[in-house]
Structure 1
């Protein structure tokens, strides 16, 4: 199972490292390896959340996620996205932006860095909405009950997550964004950029998440109706799985894009060579994709029930970190460690829960055996 799921990741790793040696020697080999590890550490929580969504999809759409989705993740977000940023912010056509990335790497890095506030606001708001909607939902299984029970009660208030997200965005735009630059009239421009980008991230979440949720609910209703018809001996109706799966797939891609923002920006701390960046982050993205499918096929989220909670708390932490980085620089190691620690904590809690349930089951069996004459 492990080899079958990760075989493409292993192949892309070997190819990417070989291309790196051919392109820039063993130094490039080391840079690509570091970037791949960076991407995996920053996106492990992404894999867990993706797995929670992907397990609802058919094997066909899981395969689409690993093929078409990888092309979007690797070539779209890790290669084309930084170029698009430069083209938009510097008002250049895409060809000039590519030439700039290949010939004037320092200028290219500066332009991407200048666009960071807008990127952070968009991605931060999208991720924050995912976190808020998760913690305000009343779930049967609770990890941090002392926190999640009162939040679930608060979640009964309509549009609470949207209101809180907008409050966070307003505070960010008039604090971090205002102080991000100290050059004359740049304050208002920066605050406006952050505000508009954050609202765009919120709208994107509501559209994509709303459509995926709508078709998912519709699919569940159709499945219930189909089961009822089968019980009555009627011919089953056609289930609209294609639409539901498509919008869930679209939601996954936007989610991946939001997660990749910090990885793309953080990569500039290691190299400003767009070729090495695309190779290293692309390899990391492949492993995140494969890990997502592995978690689904192994049923890991069902066995370790708090993992999804830990991943969503990591998403909330990443959203806050993205907002803070509008003004302050935060080392990517810290960002990665926060996610790893939260997921590790949730995994340990899941193991302890499983051991406790197993112990209770053993005690119940012993009690039953003792009552047998």
Structure 2
């Protein structure tokens, strides 16, 4: 297990050194910047704990080559692409500012960047919330789903799969309810961003499913080539949705964009390492309910994100919910395993 976290430990050391240098270079306390970076890393791990389980669930189907790429190329995309450039892109689109200009603002005038982020906050979390809600619905509304953790709820949800387009209808109803409670000036942009989140999920999920069905035959389970790439992009988009909450929450600690990138990057690296441990140790097959718990945590996170579009929700709420639900699912799985051994 230690070898899987070796890279993460190195990243922590490098990240803290960078934070110290950043603090000293701007005339602030290097130690204070180090502590802030560490706090942001912990927040990222806490919020993305269920993300690690989902990643492991999907990585089990991928070839070793694409697993390695997800843990190498993927970490670069996760840190600089999803946790920095992706929010910049959203700000550029909704604030009607050029992409390059937003990057300049992020480094030169962090207060203005934070202002733009707050102005586009509702659109950002609506997009991420709807994408994660679709992920939640796809897992539970499945006629082939056999393992039920919270049976009184999960069994009826599975039966809903008989209804055509039920996932899309539920998502649109939720989006409609959210739009109703939003201020009038935010309704149009949030309706658009939420709809884009739904459509983007359907597009990448359909492509992944199509390529998987073409490449996975009887007894085969490893996705390679185009199918591996599609699954890779699918995981990156899921990661992007999880990262939105972390990016927004990080600004509660500091407005220094360098410290935020380093802190989120270190946290993302630990989530990748945790994913690798779950795959190598075959934890998902040993812990029967942990996958269900992770998807319940995703559903909770989606609702928290959408609620934050209407009123402020402390970042600790999302982190506590995610970890709490997964811990309960793990404990229940352990109890089940002990009963099976008797």
The two structures share one fold, judged by TM-score above 0.5: yes
Contact 2:293 2:326 in 1 (8 A): yes
In structure 2, how many angstroms separate the alpha carbons of the residues matched to 1:240 and 1:249? Answer: 10
Mapped to 2, the partners of 1:219 and 1:258 lie a distance apart of: 27
Contact 1:78 1:277 (8 Å CA) reproduced: no
What's the TM-score, normalizing by structure 2?
Answer: 0.94
Alignment of 1:21 onto 2:20: yes
Q: Which structure 2 residues correspond to residues 339-358 of structure 1 after superposition, within 5 A?
A: 339-358=322-341
| Structure 1 CA distance for aligned equivalents of residues 95 and 149 of structure 2 | 46
2:153 alignment partner, one of 123, 147, 151: 147
Q: What aligned pairs does 1:115-130 form with structure 2 within 5 A after superposition?
A: 115-130=120-135
Q: Residue 271 of structure 1: SS of its match in structure 2?
A: coil
Deviations 1:281-317 (A, max 9, x none): 0100011111111100110001001000000000000
Counterpart pick for 1:132 among 113, 137, 156: 137
Q: In the alignment, what sits opposite 2:59? A: 54
Query: Structure 1 residues 147-156 or 34-43, which shifts more?
Result: 147-156
Q: What is the SS of the residue equivalent to 1:89?
A: helix
User: Which region of structure 1 is more displaced relative to structure 2, 153-162 or 47-56?
Assistant: 153-162
**Structure 1, residues 191-228: CA drift from partner, whole Å, max 9, x if none?**
1111110110001000001111111122223x45x89x
Match of 2:162? 156
Please say which structure displays the higher CA radius of gyration. 1
Matched, 1:174 2:173: no
1:219 aligns with 2:201: no
Deviation per CA, 1:302-355, whole angstroms, max 9, x where unpaired? 100100000000000011111111111111111100010100010011001101
Which stretches of structure 1, 4 residues or longer, exceed 4 Å deviation after superposition? none
Larger CA deviation: 344-353 vs 143-152: 143-152
Per-residue deviation, residues 220-269 of structure 1 (Å, max 9, x unmatched): 23x45x89xxxxxxxxxxx9731211111110000000000100011111
Q: For the residues of structure 2 that align with 1:169 and 1:97, how far apart are their CA atoms?
A: 28
Structure 2, gaps ≥5 residues long:
24-29
Secondary structure (helix, strand or coil) at the match of 2:323 reads helix
Q: Distance in 1 between matches of 2:230 and 2:90?
A: 26
Cα offsets for 1:139-179 (capped at 9, x unmatched): 2221111221122122221211110000001111121x23x
Given candidates 301, 304, 317, the residue that maps to 1:321 is: 304
Relative to structure 1, the CA distance from residue 51 to residue 119 in structure 2 (aligned partners, 3 Å threshold; closer, same or farther) is same
May I ask how many residue pairs the two structures share in their alignment? 335
Alignment of 1:237-256 (within 5 A): 241-256=224-239
Q: What is the distance in 1 between the residues matched to 2:47 and 2:60?
A: 22
Q: Does 1:65 align with 2:48?
A: no
Alignment partner of 1:104 out of 100, 109, 132: 109
Q: Is the 8 A contact 1:128 1:165 kept in 2?
A: yes
User: How far apart, CA to CA, are the structure 2 residues paired with 1:82 and 1:151?
Assistant: 33
Map residues 74-85 of structure 1 onto 2, 5 A cutoff: 74-85=79-90
